[in-house]
Amino acid sequence: KVGGIMISAALTSFLTGITEPIEFAFLFVAPLLYGIHAVLAGAAYFVAIELGIRHSTTFSHGLIDYVVLFPNSERGLWLLWLGPLWALMYFALFRTLISRMNLKTPGRELEDLAGVATGGVPAGGEMAPQLVAAFGGADNIRSLDACITRLRVDLHDVSRASADALRGLGAAGIIQVGGGMQAIFGTRSENLKTDMEEYMRSSGVTTVKPVPLVAHAVSERQVEVTQEHRARAAALSTALGGANNIIRVEPCALTRLRVQVRDHGAIDESALESARVSGILRISDSVVHVIVGDDADGQAKALGELIRK
């Protein structure tokens, strides 16, 4: 089961460059490994620079970035031998340290702390009730959100949530932030959030706040909207299929807009590029992440003003 989770996380990292699902699997249980990871990652950049390897990135330098930007690279093929060499170094160091120091990485936890059901990780909507229970029950969930690789849940009482139960359901890592918890489930986090919302809605639960409409989500942020914001918002709205096609939008992960649309087919990606969008990620049939740069808050608010007209 753990192997399946890690293979899924590795594939996500390989294709998109999103390494969080793997890193959070050992960051808190074995910080020493993260220290080794930081040194090796930094050394890889140093070696690549010294060898004259030049290769740009649009998002996080996964396979997609590598293939798309390869024509503009210098000595890009050298990465094909440098990568496997570094993989062998990672494997040798991690395996040695984990074995000799008995580090409790996923799959090596003590049985009495594992909290894993013998039936394995449930799939799809079957997982929603167990996730809700792992967060302390529906009445303990104040608000629910997701972003790329993680579920972000604001709780009334953090002590009622069970990190072990979440790991047993496949979470690669758990982070407690203030009065909430974040669980790393990889790219399926958005779908899990939707499943949880539908489960609680069908169960008659009303304590969970829905993802707010853009007008409310960004109006609480103290952001000054400029004419440049408004001009770009008009271009973004058109590229996203028009204001009537946009259901919700909010800033996410500092540089992105999380946009829920009615018709994904109405999105014009070439028009988004003209609006200085550096990338678009399809999270589900109705949700996309639009990478707009460092001023996502201001851009979200400007787009919200446009939608309300």
The residues that are catalytic are 147
Which residue is associated with the tokens 């069908």? Answer: 202
Beta bridge partners of 146: 151
* 90/10 Cα distance (integer angstroms): 14
Q: What is the distance between the alpha carbons of residues 33 and 147, in angstroms, rounded to a whole number?
A: 25
DSSP label at residue 161: S
CA distance 8 to 179: 29
Between CA 100 and CA 112 the distance in angstroms is: 22
Interaxial angle between packed helices 227-239 and 296-308, expressed in degrees from 0 to 180 and rounded to the nearest 10:
70
**Is 76 in contact with 53 (CB distance < 8 Å)?**
yes
Residue pair 123/153 in contact (Cβ under 8 Å)? The answer is no
CA–CA separation, 95 and 229 (whole Å): 50
Helix (H) or strand (E) holding 145: strand 141-147
Residue 198: closest CA among 136, 111, 131: 131
Q: Are 108 and 89 in contact (CB under 8 A)?
A: no
Using CA atoms, how far apart are residues 272 and 282, in angstroms rounded to an integer?
Answer: 14
Amino acid at 33: L
Cα separations (Å) of 82 from 19, 36, 41, 47, 274? 18, 18, 12, 9, 35
